[in-house]
A and B are shown apart, each in its own frame.
Chain A
Amino acid sequence: MDPHEDQLLWMYETMLVIRDFEERMVNVYLEGKLPPDIQHGLAFDIGGGPVPGEMHLAAGQEPVAVGVCAHLRDDDTVVGTHRPHHFAIAKGVPLDKLAAEIFGKATGLSRGKGGHMHLFDPERNFSCSGIEGASLPPATGAALAYKKLGQDSVAVAFFGEGAANQGTFHEALNLAGLWNLPAVFICEDNRWAISVPKEKSTAIASNADRAAAYGMPGVSVDHNDAVEVFAAAGDAIARARQGGGPTLIEVQTDRYLGHFQGDAEVYRPKGEPEELRGHDPIPKLATAMRGRGILDDARDDKITSRAKQRVTVAYEFARESPLPDPAEALEHVFV
């Protein structure tokens, strides 16, 4: 399945938005977290600044998000991970509310209650979780609902290769296979579970091979490439929509940054991130589009500046928005 021109343009611009959103966050996140603004003796304070707490950024992992979400509608479900911004952006979660939630503002998706790892946009059927392997069962449940309701929507669970060793992965895949559900399971393999490399955590080389145990096709996408992801996801999502059941897709992708911001990455071979950036999927897609005559300098400039402007507007909105009233903390345990 090849992407049309408008799909290529959407994937390209969305990847630019994601990359800019994430890389700007690298610096914004550091505000208020470095000496001399923090407790004496500390090198860094995770709780300081306008964006406190853990921050897991997805620079380099854009292809898996856009290649899958290019096929999805608002009524399709996506459940993401602790590293969720690229999925949220690709699923169409409004950038301003997304940024405001990450800044803990009253204009955020959840008025600051959820934060960066806990994003909820029910209008676009997007959610995520900070718990490894937690995406698969709820996505399976959404797929079960679609089947029961006779609706041709599909549910997608994203998870990392580290989470494929959680029980939830195996239980959810078995359920989806057993019940022939319209679910697509996307293993985002960046080869690192915090500091533990895949070869030291996983008994087999390819998680796609595990699909055989649960009666579904397993597909490997071996390059961090939006068009390759698009093709594999397109087949799986079309099959799911038509009642053909679930698919497990493993995508090789690259984590350019630390597990979280502030991670000294002592475990990572020196120079690995730089080497990975040498295979950047964004210029790769641009080159492919130029080869097809879809992109030239003028159009590229226009798309690139529009992407940056969208991120600028979202960040400004987040910064300028008010913090929630403290007493709101007591609301919405129940409705």
Chain B
Amino acid sequence: MAVATKERTLTMAQAISEAIGQEMERDERVFVMGEDVGSYGGIFSATSGLLDRFGPERIMDTPISEAGFIGAAIGAAAQGLRPIAELMFVDFFGVCMDQIYNHLAKNTYMSDGNVTLPVVITTAIGGGYSDAAQHSQCLYGTFAHVPGLKVVVPSNAYDAKGLMIEAIRDDNPVMFFFHKGIMGLPWMSYFEGSTNAVPDEEYTVPFGEAAVVRRGEDITIVTLSQMVQKALVAAEELAADGISVEVLDLRTLVPLDREAVAASVAKTGRLLIADEDYLSFGLSGEICAVVAERLDTLDMKAPVKRLAVPDVPIPYSRPLERHVIPQVAHIESAVRDLAT
């Protein structure tokens, strides 16, 4: 991992578009397809400025035809190109999932490794701004459940750039999930911890290596994406009350750094999982399994606790949405429960 050589901060959106642009300069096989990725620069600015630099042959606005253009990314990749396809909101995967889970995820395996599909699908996730049930989900657990897709979920600009370059250079399909509430957009409130120092030069952040983003002794919070920033705010508050919280940012779900989870929990003996995806059958359960499978070596001081969306669609009205999406206050309260 490279170290920032000078202090230049970028928003996560800027870091992602910079990574894509640098890889497009380096490798002419890389191109982008998606709705409003051209003159609009991506609804969440992940391709901002790229049309002017690379032109419409490589930054391709598509019709509203996700099954078509995401499927086309598979075919183009099989012919040696390296497509990046943007699915505007992850919630829209329903119209194109067959191409993703039955083909993109499986063709390599079904061909005994003879077909490689270096496709990156970028997609926006997350709620918190009242966009309701069809535009606020995270759903990374759904994709992580399907074998054959690498799943990347950054929490900040530095990681996002390095993970995006790693994703583009990977010869396997990668789902790259960016949370709208940490992109640093000028039209949506966001957690400012996601905007951080990003080196000008290219660098990679390897998949499968979680990051300890705050060291602590009393309790481990395993989390990802925007929830990392919420956890860091909560940890600061809790420190004032003498509770020392360790925050582990998973950064990728596939591959998943189980050893980092186990190592942190071995130290603290207490685990909170803070997740914005649905509670059941997903990420938070998977992290629980990491602990459950190591109970012979882990000395747990309290049962594991989970914070996630309690198995309801995301409601529109603000008090309803805040009730179901874990907030900083919920994290603080859960930590206090666990710590006592």
Q: Which residues of A contact B (CB under 8 A)?
A: 38-39, 41-48, 52-54, 104-105, 108, 111-118, 129-133, 162-163, 165-168, 193-196, 200-202, 262, 266-267, 323-330, 333
B140-148, B164-172, B287-295, B306-314: which lies at the interface: B306-314
Cβ 8 A contact of A115, one of B39, B317, B322: B317
Contact (Cβ within 8 A) B312 A333: yes
Task: Provide the B16-38 mask, 1 if CB < 8 A to any CB of A, else 0.
Answer: 00000000000000000001101
- Cβ of B109 within 8 Å of any chain A Cβ, yes or no, is no
Known contacts A39-B189, A130-B132; A323 and B312 CB within 8 A of each other: no
Chain B residues within 8 Å of chain A by Cβ, number: 45
CA distance A117 to B63 in the complex (A): 21
The 10 A-B pairs with the shortest beta carbon distances in the complex, nearest first, are A115-B316, A112-B317, A47-B129, A104-B317, A53-B130, A52-B130, A326-B323, A165-B63, A201-B63, A329-B320
Bound: A239/B61 CA distance, A = 39
Give the interface SS of chain B, mostly helix, strand, loop or mixed: loop
Contact of A114 among B67, B187, B316 (CB under 8 A): B316
A165 touches B65 (CB 8 A): yes
Report chain A residues within 8 Å CB of B62: 196, 201
> How many whole Å from A175's CB to the nearest CB in chain B?
17
Supposing A105-B317, A162-B64, A193-B63 touch, asked if A168 and B310 sit within 8 A by C-beta, the answer is no
Nearest-Cβ distance from residue B12 to partner chain A, whole angstroms: 15
Q: Is the CB of A47 within 8 A of B317?
A: no
- What are 14 A-to-B residue pairs whose CB atoms are below 8 Å? A47-B130, A53-B316, A108-B317, A115-B132, A117-B134, A118-B133, A130-B134, A165-B68, A166-B66, A167-B65, A193-B35, A201-B62, A201-B63, A328-B320
Please tell me which one of the listed residues B63, B135, B187, B319 contacts residue A323 in the complex, with CB atoms under 8 A apart. B319
Which of A45, A167, A196 contacts B187, CB < 8 Å? A45
Q: Which of B285-340 contact A (CB under 8 A)?
A: 310-313, 315-324
Q: Does B242 contact A (CB under 8 A)?
A: no
Contact B39 A133 (CB under 8 A): no
B183 CB to closest chain A CB (Å) equals 12
- If A131-B92, A131-B95 touch, whether A333 touches B189 (CB-CB below 8 Å) is no
Contacts of A333 in B (CB 8 A): 311-313
Q: How far is the CA of A201 from the CA of B33 in the complex (A)?
A: 13
Q: Which of A118, A266, A326, A327 contacts B134 (CB 8 A)?
A: A118
Shortest Cβ distance from A265 into B: residue: B40
Taken together as a complex, chains A and B put the C-alpha atoms of A262 and B131 apart, in Å, by 14
CA distance A41 to B190 in the complex (A): 11
Picked from A129, A132, A266, the residue with its CB within 8 Å of the CB of B64 is A132
Asked whether any CB of chain A lies closer than 8 Å to the CB of B208, the reply is no
> How far is B39's CA from A38's CA once the two chains are assembled, in angstroms?
27
A324 to B318, CA, bound (A): 9
* Candidates B63, B133, B135; contact of A202 at CB < 8 Å: B63
- Check B323–A327 contact: CB distance below 8 A: yes
Known: A46-B129, A47-B128, A324-B319. A196 touches B134 (CB 8 A): no
